[in-house]
Amino acid sequence: MDGLIVIFIILSLGFLALSLRSVYRYLLEKDRLKEEIKEKTFIENAFNKKVTRKEKIVSRILQFADDFSDLGQRINFFSENEDIKKLLTQAGFPYQLTVPRFQGLKMFLLIAGFFIGAIGLVLRFPFSQITVIIYPIIGYFGAIVWLKSKAKHRQEELSYQLPDFLDTMSVTLQAGVGLDQALRDIVPYFEGPIKEEFGRFIQEIDVGVQRADAYRTLLNRNESKEFQLLIKSLIQGEKLGVPISRTFKHTAEEMRKIKKEKIKEKAAKASPKVTLITTFLVMPSALILIGGLMIINMFSENKNLFTLFK
């Protein structure tokens, strides 16, 4: 009997040791998988930016737009769903906007503009008969104009960041690092659309998307000429077998040339604007000021002359 108890205790301790060993191996495997997932999704919340107080307030306001999403998708003048989706993609989905929410937002602003105009009409503000019509139009089209400006600004920022990004990538690739690993090492140090676009590109590669399809998705998401030039150069270089480091280097040189030409173009366009402002605002104001002073001096000097005729 005592022998059976001893055997039972030994077996229990053995099973306990095996259980602890299995738990230990489970914890090690779990930590390894966490590190692997963290490495593959290397960008720290690339698509979850730090939310500011302003963004929180705007997000709460946007929640009211969900109630008008169905109505907004029916009334879609100058705002077809495909066009809005394209603009949202180019703008980076600001404030986590979706197509239905944006369609509801424009209708919410239209109704809000109507109520503001109606209040002005009841209180008999100046031009209230006109503003009751103008405010809803401003609310409707203002949302569309705002989204277009957001998309344009993001594409311009993407073009502006590219030369520095390409120079850094070129140096890293010339050191013998592969393209994917170079992107993993460099992209986290950038902010804005560069980090978002190439971060999504690497994540698509990690989940098994073909590289050609990932490149094509990048082209469809962005309309920046400089960015499209880079992606097309990468596609062509991959087909022809050109070293990627050389592709990045030549593309960076081309980007800087384009950037210089744009700066010269903006400077050339600024000169006529300055001339117009000087001609139609500054010069007439100066002439009026000088003429007024001359007239004041003339009457003040001839003051005694006018008293003779009294």
DSSP calls for the chain: -HHHHHHHHHHHHHHHHHHHHHHHHHHHHHHHHHHHHHHHT-STTTTSPPPPHHHHHHHHHHHGGGGGHHHHHHS-TT--HHHHHHHHHHHT-GGG--HHHHHHHHHHHHHHHHHHHHHHHHTT-TTHHHHHHHHHHHHHHHHHHHHHHHHHHHHHHHHHHHHHHHHHHHHHHHTT--HHHHHHHHGGG--THHHHHHHHHHHHHHTT--HHHHHHHHHHH---HHHHHHHHHHHHHHHHT--HHHHHHHHHHHHHHHHHHHHHHHHHHHHHHHHHHIIIIIHHHHHHHHHHHHHHHHHHHTHHHHHHT-
Same domain flag for 102 and 133:
yes
Q: What is the mean pLDDT of the chain?
A: 81
Same domain flag for 124 and 101:
yes
Q: What are the backbone dihedrals phi and psi of residue 65, each rounded to the nearest 5 degrees, phi first?
A: -70, -20
Count: domains in the chain? 2
Examine the fold and report which residue of 105, 134, 153 is the final residue of a domain before the chain moves on. Answer: 153
Name which residue leads in pLDDT, 136 or 38. 136
Q: Is residue 46 part of a domain?
A: no
Q: What is the tens place of the pLDDT at every residue in 93-107?
A: 888 888 999 999 999
**Does residue 35 surpass a pLDDT of 80?**
no
Same domain flag for 73 and 135:
yes
Question: What is the average per-residue pLDDT within 179-191?
Answer: 86
Looking at residue 308, what is its pLDDT?
Answer: 45
Q: Is residue 35 part of a domain?
A: no
Domain encompassing residue 129: 53-153
**Per-residue confidence band for 142, with pLDDT thresholds at 50, 70 and 90:** very high
Q: What is the tens place of the pLDDT at every residue in 244-268?
A: 777 787 877 777 787 777 777 777 7
Examine the fold and report which residue of 153, 168, 186 is the final residue of a domain before the chain moves on. Answer: 153
Q: Is residue 74 part of a domain?
A: yes
**Does residue 134 surpass a pLDDT of 90?**
yes
Q: Is residue 166 part of a domain?
A: yes
Examine the fold and report which residue of 153, 188, 203 is the final residue of a domain before the chain moves on. Answer: 153
Q: Is residue 291 part of a domain?
A: no
Q: Is residue 6 part of a domain?
A: no
Which residue has 């919340």 as its token pair?
45
Q: What is the tens place of the pLDDT at every residue in 9-34?
A: 777 777 778 888 888 888 888 877 77
Q: How far apart are CA 124 and CA 304, in angstroms?
A: 53
Same domain flag for 87 and 139:
yes
Q: Is residue 9 part of a domain?
A: no
Same domain flag for 140 and 64:
yes
Closest to 224 in 3D by CA, of 307, 284, 156: 156
Same domain flag for 197 and 147:
no
Same domain flag for 73 and 111:
yes
Alpha carbon of residue 191 to chain centroid: 11
